Structure 1
Amino acid sequence: MKQLFFFFFLLSFSAQAQFQITGVVRDETTNKPLPFASISSKNGFEITDIDGKFSIESKEPIFSFVISYVGYQKKEIQTDGKKNFTVLLSPKSESLQEITVGENPAIAIIKKSIALKNQNNPEKRLNSFQFKAYNKLVITANPDSINGTLDSIFVTNKGVRKFVKLDSTDYKFKKIIDKQHIYQTEKISQYQYDGKNFKENVLATKMAGFKQPIYELIGLKFQSFSVYDSKYELLENRYDGPLAGDALKQYSFKILDTVKIQGRDLYVIFFKNKKRSKKNGLHGVLYIDQKNNAIAKAIFRVKNIIDISGIHDYEYLPESDLWFPRGKTFKIVKGNNSENINILGGQIQFEGDSEDGKSDSKEKVTSDFVYLISESNHFDFEFNVPLTIRKPAIAIEIKDDAIKKEEVFWQKYRKDSLDARGKQTYKTLDSIVIKQGIEKKLRIGRRILNGYVPFGFFDMDLRYLIKYNNYEGFRLGLGGITNEKFSDKFRLDGYGAYGLKDGKFKYSGGSAVRVGRFSNTWIGGSYTDDVREIASTAFAIDKRVFKIYDPRPINLSTFYSHKTWRAYIETKIIPKTESVWQITQSHIEPLFNYVYNQNGTDYTSYNMTTAMVSLQWNPSSAFMQTPVGKLEIDKQYPKFTFQFTKSLPDIMGNDFDFGKIDIRAEYQKKYLNGQKTAVYSELGYAFGDVPLTHLYNTSPNSLTKDNIIQRITIAGKNSFETMYFNEFFSSQYALFQIKHAFKRTTLFRKVKPALVLVSRAAWGNMEKTEQHFGIDYKTLNDGYFESGIELNQIYKGLGLSGFYRYGPNQLPRFEDNISVKLSFVLDLGL
Structure 2
Amino acid sequence: MKNFSIVLFLFLFSLGFSQSQLEVLSASDRAPISNAKVSCNNKILGFTNTNGIINFNSKCKKVNVSAVGFYDNEVLVDKKMDLLLTKVDANVKDIEAVVLTDKSDPRALKILDEVNARYKQNSPESLDSYSYRSYDKISLDIDKDSLSTYRNFVTKRSDSLKNLPENNLSKKKKKDSLDNSQFVNLIKDSKFFLWERVQEHLYSQKYGEKINVLDNRVSGLNDPIYELMTLRSNRLKIPKEIRKENRDLYRFFLTDSIEIDGRENYVIRFRQINFKEAKMKRKYNGYLYVDKASYALKKIESNSKIKSDGSITSTWIPFDNKWFLKKESLKLKAGNIAFKENSEKNESDKKEKKFGNYIYVNSDYFDFKTPIEVKAKEFTGYTMAVEKADGTSLSKYRTEPLTKREKETYVKIDSVGKKYNIDQKVGVFTNLLKGKLRLGKIDIDAAKVIGYNQYEGLRLGLGVKLNEKFNPYISPDGYAAFGFKDQTWKYGLGVDIKTTLKKNSFFRAEYHNDVQNAGKFNENQWNFKMKLMNAGVNLHNDNYYHFEGFKVAYENDISNGITLNVSAKKDKEEAKFPYSFRNLGNKFDNFSTMITLKFSTNSKNIMTPSGKYTYEQNYPELYLNYEQSFKTFGGDLQYSRFDALFIDTFKSNLGVTGVRLFGGMSSSDAPIWHQFQMNGLGPKEITGLFSHFNLTSYLGFATMEGGKYYSNKFLGYYFTHRIPWYFKSFGKNISSFDVVYRGTIGNMNNPEYHQFNFKPLDHLYQEVGLEWNNFFATQFNLGLFYRIGYYQTSVFNENFAIQLKLKALGF
The two structures have a TM-score, normalised by structure 1, of: 0.68
Partner of residue 373, structure 2: 386
Query: Could you list the per-position Cα deviations for residues 761-791 of structure 1 after superposition, in whole angstroms to 9, with x for gaps in the alignment?
Result: 2211111223222x12222222222344567
Partner of residue 625, structure 2: 643
**Aligned counterpart in structure 1 of residue 198 of structure 2, from 188, 192, 199:** 188
**Aligned counterpart in structure 1 of residue 363 of structure 2, from 375, 378, 381:** 375
Q: Distance in 2 between matches of 1:107 and 1:714?
A: 42
Mapping for residues 502-581 of structure 1, pairs under 5 Å: 502-544=486-528, 550-581=535-566
Q: Distance in 2 between matches of 1:85 and 1:753?
A: 31
2:581 is paired with a residue whose SS is strand
> Retained in 1: the 8 A contact 2:431–2:438?
yes
**Aligned counterpart in structure 2 of residue 664 of structure 1, from 635, 645, 653:** 645
- Give yes or no for the alignment of 1:586 onto 2:583: no
Amino acid at match of 1:732: K
When residues 369 and 815 of structure 1 are mapped into structure 2, their CA distance, relative to the original with a 3 A threshold, is: closer
- Give yes or no for the alignment of 1:397 onto 2:384: yes
Query: Could you list the per-position Cα deviations for residues 608-664 of structure 1 after superposition, in whole angstroms to 9, with x for gaps in the alignment?
Result: 32221223322332223445543222223333322222223x322333332222122
**Aligned counterpart in structure 1 of residue 708 of structure 2, from 727, 733, 742:** 727
**Aligned counterpart in structure 1 of residue 679 of structure 2, from 699, 711, 726:** 699
Shift of 1:466: 5.3
Please say which of residues 434-443 and 279-288 is displaced more in the overlay. 279-288
Q: Distance in 1 between matches of 2:501 and 2:452?
A: 38
Partner of residue 168, structure 2: none
Q: Distance in 2 between matches of 1:606 and 1:397?
A: 47
> Retained in 2: the 8 A contact 1:281–1:303?
no
> Retained in 2: the 8 A contact 1:524–1:568?
yes
1:726 is paired with a residue whose SS is coil
> Retained in 2: the 8 A contact 1:752–1:793?
no
Gaps of 5+ in 2: 13-21, 34-51, 53-81, 92-105, 157-180, 276-280, 337-351
Q: Distance in 2 between matches of 1:679 and 1:447?
A: 29
Q: Distance in 2 between matches of 1:538 and 1:737?
A: 17
- Cα RMSD, aligned residues only: 5.3
Q: Distance in 1 between matches of 2:110 and 2:709?
A: 62
> Retained in 2: the 8 A contact 1:469–1:555?
yes
Partner of residue 266, structure 2: 269
Shift of 1:668: 5.2
Mapping for residues 367-766 of structure 1, pairs under 5 Å: 368=356, 370-379=358-367, 382-390=369-377, 392=379, 396-400=383-387, 402-406=388-392, 409-447=393-431, 452-454=436-438, 456-461=440-445, 463-465=447-449, 467-544=451-528, 550-597=535-582, 602-626=584-608, 628-648=610-630, 650-667=631-648, 678-705=658-685, 707-709=687-689, 711=691, 714-718=694-698, 719-739=700-720, 746=729, 758-766=740-748
> Retained in 2: the 8 A contact 1:239–1:282?
no
When residues 518 and 205 of structure 1 are mapped into structure 2, their CA distance, relative to the original with a 3 A threshold, is: same
Q: Distance in 1 between matches of 2:112 and 2:781?
A: 49
Shift of 1:678: 4.5
1:411 is paired with a residue whose SS is helix
When residues 453 and 184 of structure 1 are mapped into structure 2, their CA distance, relative to the original with a 3 A threshold, is: closer
When residues 554 and 266 of structure 1 are mapped into structure 2, their CA distance, relative to the original with a 3 A threshold, is: closer
Partner of residue 166, structure 1: none
Amino acid at match of 1:298: K
When residues 511 and 267 of structure 1 are mapped into structure 2, their CA distance, relative to the original with a 3 A threshold, is: same
Partner of residue 776, structure 1: 757
2:213 is paired with a residue whose SS is strand
Query: Could you list the per-position Cα deviations for residues 228-278 of structure 1 after superposition, in whole angstroms to 9, with x for gaps in the alignment?
Result: xxx513xxx474499xxx9xxx9875652335x3xxx32132135799899
Q: Distance in 2 between matches of 1:664 and 1:429?
A: 48
When residues 382 and 266 of structure 1 are mapped into structure 2, their CA distance, relative to the original with a 3 A threshold, is: closer
Amino acid at match of 1:531: V
Shift of 1:369: 5.9
Q: Distance in 2 between matches of 1:555 and 1:577?
A: 35
> Retained in 1: the 8 A contact 2:546–2:573?
yes
> Retained in 2: the 8 A contact 1:281–1:672?
no
1:580 is paired with a residue whose SS is strand
Shift of 1:672: 13
1:232 is paired with a residue whose SS is coil
Partner of residue 203, structure 1: 214
- Give yes or no for the alignment of 1:328 onto 2:327: yes
> Retained in 1: the 8 A contact 2:220–2:418?
yes
> Retained in 2: the 8 A contact 1:137–1:373?
yes
When residues 643 and 324 of structure 1 are mapped into structure 2, their CA distance, relative to the original with a 3 A threshold, is: same
> Retained in 1: the 8 A contact 2:560–2:605?
no
Shift of 1:333: 5.3
When residues 137 and 267 of structure 1 are mapped into structure 2, their CA distance, relative to the original with a 3 A threshold, is: same
Q: Distance in 2 between matches of 1:562 and 1:623?
A: 34
Shift of 1:204: 0.7
Q: Which structure shows the bigger proportion of residues in helix conformation? A: 2
When residues 695 and 793 of structure 1 are mapped into structure 2, their CA distance, relative to the original with a 3 A threshold, is: same
Shift of 1:219: 1.0
Q: Distance in 2 between matches of 1:460 and 1:422?
A: 37
Q: Distance in 1 between matches of 2:611 and 2:183?
A: 39
Shift of 1:531: 1.5
When residues 270 and 498 of structure 1 are mapped into structure 2, their CA distance, relative to the original with a 3 A threshold, is: closer
Q: Distance in 2 between matches of 1:396 and 1:87?
A: 43
> Retained in 2: the 8 A contact 1:532–1:561?
yes
> Retained in 2: the 8 A contact 1:733–1:763?
yes
Q: Distance in 2 between matches of 1:740 and 1:636?
A: 18
When residues 464 and 570 of structure 1 are mapped into structure 2, their CA distance, relative to the original with a 3 A threshold, is: same
When residues 282 and 8 of structure 1 are mapped into structure 2, their CA distance, relative to the original with a 3 A threshold, is: farther
When residues 285 and 520 of structure 1 are mapped into structure 2, their CA distance, relative to the original with a 3 A threshold, is: same
When residues 494 and 610 of structure 1 are mapped into structure 2, their CA distance, relative to the original with a 3 A threshold, is: same
> Retained in 2: the 8 A contact 1:741–1:754?
yes
Mapping for residues 238-277 of structure 1, pairs under 5 Å: 239-240=242-243, 255-258=256-259, 261=261, 265-271=262-268
When residues 769 and 694 of structure 1 are mapped into structure 2, their CA distance, relative to the original with a 3 A threshold, is: same
Q: Distance in 1 between matches of 2:322 and 2:760?
A: 64
Shift of 1:730: 0.9
> Retained in 2: the 8 A contact 1:194–1:388?
no
> Retained in 2: the 8 A contact 1:294–1:323?
no
> Retained in 1: the 8 A contact 2:453–2:542?
yes
Mapping for residues 24-39 of structure 1, pairs under 5 Å: 24=26
Partner of residue 232, structure 1: 238
Q: Distance in 1 between matches of 2:801 and 2:113?
A: 55
Q: Distance in 2 between matches of 1:333 and 1:765?
A: 56
* Count of residue pairs brought into register by the alignment: 682
Q: Distance in 1 between matches of 2:799 and 2:113?
A: 57
The two structures have a TM-score, normalised by structure 2, of: 0.70
When residues 293 and 692 of structure 1 are mapped into structure 2, their CA distance, relative to the original with a 3 A threshold, is: closer
> Retained in 1: the 8 A contact 2:254–2:266?
yes
> Retained in 2: the 8 A contact 1:639–1:666?
yes
Q: Distance in 1 between matches of 2:120 and 2:730?
A: 50
Amino acid at match of 2:638: D
Q: Distance in 1 between matches of 2:617 and 2:137?
A: 25
Sequence identity (%): 21
